Structure 1
Amino acid sequence: MEDESFDVDALIDGLIEREGGYVNHPADKGGPTCFGITEAVARAHGFAGPMKALPRDEATTIYRRLYWLRPRFDQVARRSSRVAGEHFDTGVNMGPAVATTFLQRALTALNRNAKDYADLTPDGRVGPLTLHALDAYLQTRGKRGGETVLMRALEALQAERYLRLAERRPANEAFLYGWLANRIGAIG
């Protein structure tokens, strides 16, 4: 069951605060954003106005639908609100499939050569096998300690990807400091 104290609205509000309002950075391949929502995503979900005018409540709706419910991160929250929060934040910044691949890779690496649960195929989808592995991991390692180690693994994968993005595309160096300062360790 989802943690009683878990509040997805607070998670989304915190994300929107970190993302800020309208931004149109010349080095950002995603183009203009508002509250962290790209213009392409806003358009795909029916917003036709100027990005500067994207209503905050519309951004909240998009985050809930595309980055929480559709990728089934709510199911992760039923097991661990800390992991779900990290998973959500990474999913917003890198895509839900990338975030889920990180979770699947970390769970596989932490299963003690499949003694605790079967290896996962990193397919980027939260399904029954991923949820079973997360349940088994938390049961085996203990909720608090297990969450802490899993969070470290997820953040390590995220940080490595940020460094790789900056190495492969020098224009991304404009964002690296902020990514590391505001994304790694921001949740949980």
Structure 2
Amino acid sequence: MPNSPDINTLIDAAIILEGDFSDHPADRGGPTRWGVTEAVARAHGYAGDMRHFPRKKATEIYKRKYWERPGFDRIAQLAPHIAAELFDTGINMGTGTASRFLQRALNALNRNGRDYMDIAVDGQIGSKTLASVEAFVRRRGARGEAVLLKAIEALQGARYVELSEKRPANEAFLYGWLANRIG
């Protein structure tokens, strides 16, 4: 099995990318620190001013909400680069969206069911999704993982453009999303 990515390294990279405190008027997430929105911080018991939201608390949320709960830690045992991408995408777009990108890409790459059966695109990492990842990687190897990663990023990039088309205020973020989240 491939080496699993170190979650602490992934979290540190996410926090560096997301930055310290932000309260951009076009950001529907409102006040954010370390990439954690006020709503997420509140849902995890933080009641203080977001300007003072502790990095340690952000790290705990990232590990639990964006790595373990969606099952990306289990993907990491099979396809570490895919797991790292799902973690990052999950932070920015939600873990269900990231999981659906994976499931859609797996279905499109299964050679009409010859390599493994289609799976439900339900945003849940369960036994069938894990089995499909395992079958894909067994058949396609490291090069296949790179291709699967490209497919997920293509779906992500298309979604960013759609978000900007549907809500022009999101154009304030489109360049950064594409520059920092794709490839």
Cα deviations by residue, 1:56-80 (Å, 9 ceiling, x for unpaired) = 0100000001011110110000101
Q: Is 1:122 aligned with 2:121?
A: yes
Q: Is 1:25 aligned with 2:24?
A: yes
Q: Which residue of 2 aligns with 1:3?
A: 3
Q: Which residue of 2 aligns with 1:179?
A: 177
Superposed displacement of residue 121, structure 1 = 1.0
SS in 1 for 2:47: coil
2:148 to 142, 147, 150: 150
- The alignment's C-alpha RMSD in Å is 0.9
Q: Which residue of 1 aligns with 2:83?
A: 84
- The residue correspondences of 1:129-144 to structure 2 (distance < 5 A) are 129-142=128-141, 144=142
Distance in 1 of aligned mates of 2:66 and 2:146 = 23
Superposed displacement of residue 2, structure 1 = 6.1
Q: Is 1:168 aligned with 2:163?
A: no
Aligned sequence identity (%): 57
Distance in 1 of aligned mates of 2:77 and 2:140 = 17
Q: Tell me, which stretches of 5 or more residues in structure 1 are unaligned?
A: none
Task: Give the TM-score normalised by the residue count of structure 1.
Answer: 0.96
Distance in 1 of aligned mates of 2:152 and 2:102 = 7
Distance in 2 of aligned mates of 1:85 and 1:69 = 12
Q: What is the one-letter code of the residue matched to 1:47? A: Y
Q: Which residue of 1 aligns with 2:40?
A: 41
Q: Which residue of 2 aligns with 1:110?
A: 109
Superposed displacement of residue 120, structure 1 = 1.0
Cα deviations by residue, 1:31-76 (Å, 9 ceiling, x for unpaired) = 1100010000000101111001011010000000101111011000
Distance in 2 of aligned mates of 1:48 and 1:94 = 24
Distance in 1 of aligned mates of 2:10 and 2:133 = 21
Q: What is the one-letter code of the residue matched to 2:26? A: A
Cα deviations by residue, 1:70-95 (Å, 9 ceiling, x for unpaired) = 10110000101100000100011000
Distance in 1 of aligned mates of 2:51 and 2:36 = 11
Distance in 2 of aligned mates of 1:121 and 1:62 = 27
Q: What is the one-letter code of the residue matched to 1:66? A: K
Aligned residues: 183
Cα deviations by residue, 1:99-154 (Å, 9 ceiling, x for unpaired) = 00000000000000000000011000000000000000001111x10111001000
